[in-house]
Amino acid sequence: MTAHIYPGADAKTQWFHSRYAGDTMPHPNVIVLHTTEGSTWPDYNGGAVAPTFTVLADGSVRQHFYANESARALVNAAGGVQTNTLNAVQIELVGTCSKGGPGVFWPGATDAQLAGLAKLVKWLTSTYPIPLKSTAKPWLPYPTSYGSRSGQRMNFDEWESFAGICGHQHVPENDHGDPGAFPVARLIELVAGTSTPSKPTPRPSKPVVSVAHLNKARAKDIPAATGHTTYPAEVRIVEAALKAEGFLNSAYASDGSWGTMTDRAFNRFRREVLHLTGDDATGSVGLYSLTQLASRHGFTAKP
């Protein structure tokens, strides 16, 4: 029987098999997820209403019965179908399915909070014929998930033929709505190892404009166009910024040369925005003035 103890579990602190030994389930093929609606380990009335496992968001796991033994966390009404004893492994998650409820809000669980559960589910689906798939029934948010009026609860035939992962809200003869809109697809990705860790979207690199390059373009192309351009891409970046500032006519079609119109527009920026005077406002392009323009328009200035 020891093969039916999860290696990552504490199977001593709340081991209820001795007091409430269940029926042996030959072929566990269903995982039922619950939420405890509390923030600490429940006492389960001494085991009378205990699941197979309880999991904390920090990855801690307690096992209460053998994994191939019926647990006691479901209503099992007389005259209907078997619930607790129908090859169902039951896992309670310490926390809530209701936003603002006690403990971890499992419908919004992070990958780190799901990690311990994912390890347990991986062991279960590797040990028993439990398919790594969700019920096709919706995982509804609580309280819509309570009762049976919202179409999420299985009928008797659906339950008896189901194999995979479901929630308390899906089990017939029960009315509870936990674990709410649980992220079961993400859990399955983590178990299967097919998920890609979320990465921040890289910021596009800023274009770089050189003061030295602009001054070479300025020296060659002023006072009149020479029929060629020098560092046209960098000149166009500056001209686009000057257009945005309102110092260069928006209809101006840049050819990438630093002509007299570009020079006048840049000088206006230096005088009217930076309040520079004298040679600082009319002479060679300086690093200070280009850096100020760059900070306003998303490019980088360098010497």
pLDDT digits (tens, 9 = 90+) for 204-262: 688 999 999 999 988 887 765 555 678 999 999 999 999 999 999 877 878 788 988 99
pTM across the whole model: 0.65
* Mean pLDDT value across residues 100-114: 95
Domain membership of residue 175 as a residue range: 2-192
In terms of Cα–Cα distance, which of 65, 150, 59, 158 is closest to 104?
A: 59
Whether residues 54 and 183 share a domain: the answer is yes
Q: What is the pLDDT of residue 255?
A: 77
Query: Is the pLDDT assigned to residue 61 strictly greater than 70?
Result: yes
Q: Strand 30-35 relative to strand 53-55: parallel, antiparallel, unpaired?
A: unpaired
Q: Strand 300-302 relative to strand 88-93: parallel, antiparallel, unpaired?
A: unpaired
Whether residues 174 and 219 share a domain: the answer is no
Helix (H) or strand (E) holding 302: strand 300-302
Domain membership flag for residue 24: yes
Confidence of residue 1 (pLDDT cuts 50, 70, 90): very low
Domain boundary among 143, 163, 192: 192
Could you tell me if 229 and 257 are in contact, meaning their C-beta atoms sit under 8 angstroms apart? yes
In this structure, the chain runs to a length of: 303
Whether residues 187 and 229 share a domain: the answer is no
Whether residues 144 and 233 share a domain: the answer is no
Whether residues 158 and 218 share a domain: the answer is no
Total structural domains in the chain?
2
Instruction: In whole angstroms, give the CA distance from residue 248 to residue 265.
Output: 6
Q: What is the pLDDT of residue 191?
A: 96
Q: What is the pLDDT of residue 219?
A: 84
Residue 156: give its domain's CATH number.
3.40.80.10
Whether residues 46 and 131 share a domain: the answer is yes
Which long-range contacts link 238-246 to residues 24+ away (Cβ below 8 Å)? 238/209, 238/214, 238/262, 238/266, 238/290, 238/293, 239/265, 240/297, 241/293, 241/294, 241/296, 241/297, 241/299, 242/266, 242/269, 242/293, 244/297, 245/269, 245/273, 245/293, 245/296
Domain boundary among 165, 192, 219: 192
CB atoms closer than 10 angstroms to residue 66: 23
Q: What is the pLDDT of residue 250?
A: 77
In terms of Cα–Cα distance, which of 209, 213, 207 is closest to 284?
A: 213
CB atoms closer than 10 angstroms to residue 88: 25
Whether residues 260 and 172 share a domain: the answer is no
Domain membership flag for residue 27: yes
Domain boundary among 160, 192, 224: 192
Please, what is the average pLDDT of the chain? Answer: 91
Could you tell me if 72 and 47 are in contact, meaning their C-beta atoms sit under 8 angstroms apart? yes
Q: What is the pLDDT of residue 251?
A: 79
| pLDDT tens-digit readout, 141-180 | 999 999 999 999 999 999 999 999 999 999 999 999 999 9
